[in-house]
Amino acid sequence: MKKTLTFLLVLMALSPGFLSAQTTKSPAVVLVFAGDDPNLITIKDDAGKKQAATEGLKMKAGWIIQTAKGGSAELQIQPNGSIIKIAASTTFKINDLASETAKTKNDFEVASGKIRAVATKLAGSENSPGYTLKTPTANCGVRGTDFLINISADGLQESLVVAEGLVDFTKDSTGELVKVGAGQMADALSASFAVGNIDQATLNSLFSDVGFVKLDPKTVGAITSQANAVDVNTDNTKVAGSGTNQGSAPASEDPLMAWIKKVLGAEIGSVTINGTTWSKAILQPVIDTGNFRLGLYLPIIYETDMFDPSDWYQPSGNNEWSFGTQLVNGQSLWTSDPLAAALDATSDLVLKIRFLEIGRQGVDPFYLKLGSLNTMTIGHATIMSRFANDQEFPSVRKVGFNAGVTFGPLGIEGVADDLTSPQVVGGRLSFNLIGNWVVIGTSGIADLALVDPKNLTGNSPIAGKTAASLGNPIFLVGGLDTQWINLDLGFLRALVFADVNVLTAYYQSSYTANGVTVPVGLATGTLFDSTGGLRSYGMEAGVTGKLLVIDYRLSFQLEHGLYKNGIFRSNYYRTRNERLLGLNSYLTESATAAAIDKQSTVGIFGSAGFNLLNILLFDGSYRWPMTMNSNGSIQLSSDNTLAKVEDALALKLTIPKGALPDFIKLSGQVSYERTKLVATLATSGGTLSLFDSNTVLKGEILYGLAQGVDLAIGVSTLIQRDATTGAVTYDTSGNAKVSPSISLETRIGF
């Protein structure tokens, strides 16, 4: 009985019907690789519903795949094994799949962009192409080949390029048909619809941005040569029917070299720092896998001699290439103070990190950002809003920290301006009460070095003093934040929030002025007056979200005493002395405190941002300040109070690289942030300086010289500092001096 059963099982296993039943896969197009960032891919099913770009996703007829700038995808057709590479900025549609309907062809469509296909040869395709691939004005009959279709962004080119095999290329308007073989191309929009031969270098260049990452063209079924179209010589070169040698198909690149070319970047040029022009040669390797990004910064910035380390620029007097080996009193730190040497080596090593990013803030349950960060925000941005530790890069380099993690309903965020020498630190703890509709949190940010030691020298308003004589206060801002509604209707998203915060300080030594002594400990005088009334506090309530393509925020703000909404912002370092002197005056000068407490400041804050087809990105915001008198009336600030009102303007405009048509090789970004705009105009007779301590300006324009080579012109504002000590330089009014920095460089991407 066992022998009979075994015989029957073997017979069934060897039967063609059983084999077919076990190996046949239902027809589908499988997403094998979703590029470096799946968020740059939009997939819609045959009902128009969006689907997540998850690797392994099986797609059917009627599905559409769109890649944004920087996105890409790799597809495999089941069961025949043909593969397709979709480049950036491409729209690809699956019209039909063989055996899914009565049709016998796989039918695809490219509406825009660029794709490469390596198609396996189907049975019977010698006389009937097994694939049809349509473009806006033509269609391709594919028998089994390696080819690409490129539709230019300006709509002036619709070309087919074949590396191996044969493609029937038909122009819809006239019915003309040409057969395009290996090493040939044709353009459906050219004046003459004809086949042209291309050399190997051009062929390699055209295929350079459609190389496969996960899929391997070698695994696709063998492509059989077509009679009178393509012959294969013994030396593996392709010869067209005319006998012209077309050269081999693009060779597979060594994986190691491909990886090096992808990650390695360099800058060669010049930069102005503190009025001195420095030359620079910088390697900037970048590893980007979508959810993980690491960028290194390996600079040699020199004045005259690149090969003389003593001539290299040293940020804030630090030789970042010493790794603890610098001499102190003629003796190496490793010999005289091993601990100091180890700390210096660690600091120098950490400075080589330009950025490290894992996850996305507000989206992923865990995110981490390290390095030179141009925006750090906590909670609803009422205390820390777009704080930047890179505002003086590369003159001053810091390795900032911003991270967050969510454990069920509990959320934790942390921030530090510099891991090597932290000064501004803080965090937020939040608890999700009802499904993201009701959230309550508490935040706190501290400046541990409001008396910056470098500001005690030079011509600073506090020069010649000691931190102890100024009370050496720790600046503290914190409070409660709440979220009440989180609405998502697709076209409209809205989140309603309300925050209440207070400002105070902890004095590490006593401070005496005008016969008044501020003792060691928490300065309660910033919180309450002699009658128990509240002093330095503020609140903000509003709504933020997205309407169609516009990100928006609209809120009402109230400030009283020393408190300012979003006090830790991009120009915080430049106004630090102002905070210190204002705090000490508030606590020791009763007349000053009374004048400040007499009026509150209220304001309407609005911001809007949009992305116009990945061509133009804009973000702007403004806070309109008003005064609220003691009787509760609100009015526009008069001239004598404008100097005390801190309005805030922020503008940012970006044109991504490659967003414009190919013949316009320009891209760039410019951002301008300023506080006290109205106050400056009111107190300076209408004259506005773009370069002062209340302003942060950054911008650059890139021009593509060649593939992988860009000319970059940049301008920014930097605080003037002593080249040796890093001490800030001040003008006669006690404001930090700011000067423009201009850079000119050639950027090379390998």
Lowest mean pLDDT among 231-235, 569-573, 634-638, 706-710: 231-235
pLDDT for the residue 497? 94
Separation of alpha carbons 219 and 227, rounded Å: 24
Task: Give the domain CATH number at 95.
Answer: 2.60.120.1440
Strands 230-232 and 73-78: what pairing? unpaired
What are the E-state strand segments in 81-165? 83-86, 90-96, 106-118, 131-134, 138-142, 146-151, 158-164
Query: Structurally, how many domains does the chain consist of?
Result: 1
pLDDT greater than 80 at residue 10 = no
DSSP 454-506: GGGSTT-TTTT--TGGGT-EEEEEEEEEEEEEEEE-SSEEEEEEEEEEEEEEE
pLDDT for the residue 626? 77
pLDDT greater than 70 at residue 477 = yes
Separation of alpha carbons 284 and 745, rounded Å: 13
At residue 264's C-alpha, the angle toward residues 259 and 268, to 5°, is 160
Task: List the one residue out of 54, 53, 61 whose CA is nearest residue 28.
Answer: 61
Residue 1 domain-assigned (yes or no): no
Residue 441 domain-assigned (yes or no): no
pLDDT for the residue 12? 37
pLDDT for the residue 633? 65
Separation of alpha carbons 455 and 573, rounded Å: 11
Provide mean pLDDT across the span 438-443. 94
Place of tokens 């007056």: 529
pLDDT for the residue 90? 92
Task: List the one residue out of 627, 613, 610 whose CA is nearest residue 560.
Answer: 627
**How far are the Cα atoms of 68, 428, 700 from residue 34, in angstroms, in the given order?**
12, 34, 31
pLDDT for the residue 19? 36
Provide mean pLDDT across the span 447-456. 84
Residue 169 domain-assigned (yes or no): yes
- pTM value is 0.62
DSSP 692-716: STTEEEEEEEEEEEETTEEEEEEEE
Greater model confidence, 352 or 640: 352
Q: Are 614 and 667 in contact (CB under 8 A)?
A: no
Which of 15-24, 593-602, 664-673 has the highest average model confidence (pLDDT)? 664-673
Three-state DSSP at 37 gives coil
DSSP 357-389: EES-TTTSSEEEEEES-S-B--TTSSSB-SB-S
pLDDT for the residue 126? 45
Provide mean pLDDT across the span 143-149. 84
Task: Give helix 16-23 / helix 2-14 axis angle, nearest 10°.
Answer: 70
Over residues 308-365, the pLDDT tens digits come to: 887 888 766 667 787 877 766 667 777 777 887 788 788 888 888 888 988 888 778 8
Average pLDDT, the chain: 79
pLDDT greater than 50 at residue 100 = no
Residue 43 domain-assigned (yes or no): yes
Provide mean pLDDT across the span 590-610. 85
pLDDT greater than 90 at residue 236 = no
Range of the domain at 78: 26-252
pLDDT for the residue 238? 34
Strands 41-44 and 50-51: what pairing? antiparallel
Over residues 15-41, the pLDDT tens digits come to: 333 333 334 457 889 999 998 888 899
Greater model confidence, 263 or 645: 263
pLDDT greater than 70 at residue 254 = no
Residue 82 domain-assigned (yes or no): yes
- Using the 8-state DSSP alphabet, how is residue 629 labeled? -
pLDDT for the residue 441? 94
Over residues 38-77, the pLDDT tens digits come to: 889 999 988 888 898 988 899 998 899 999 888 899 999 8
Q: What are the residues whose beta carbons fall under 8 Å from the beta carbon of 684, sequence distance 6 or more?
A: none
Q: What are the residues whose beta carbons fall under 8 Å from the beta carbon of 79, sequence distance 6 or more?
A: 24, 25, 27
Residue 388 domain-assigned (yes or no): no
One-letter amino acid for residue 362 of the chain: G
pLDDT greater than 90 at residue 502 = yes
- Token readout for 275 is 């009025």
Q: What is the CA radius of gyration of the chain?
A: 32
Q: Are 560 and 537 in contact (CB under 8 A)?
A: yes
Q: How confident is the model at residue 681 (pLDDT cuts 50, 70, 90)?
A: low
Residue 271 domain-assigned (yes or no): no
Residue 273 domain-assigned (yes or no): no
Over residues 107-125, the pLDDT tens digits come to: 899 988 999 998 876 533 4
Which of 232-246, 485-499, 704-718, 721-735 has the highest average model confidence (pLDDT)? 485-499
Three-state DSSP at 61 gives coil
The distance in angstroms from the start CA to the end CA of the chain is 69
Q: Are 660 and 666 in contact (CB under 8 A)?
A: yes
Over residues 509-530, the pLDDT tens digits come to: 999 988 889 999 999 999 988 7
CA dihedral 86, 90, 96, 97 (to 10 degrees): 10
Q: How confident is the model at residue 714 (pLDDT cuts 50, 70, 90)?
A: confident
Over residues 460-474, the pLDDT tens digits come to: 777 778 888 899 999
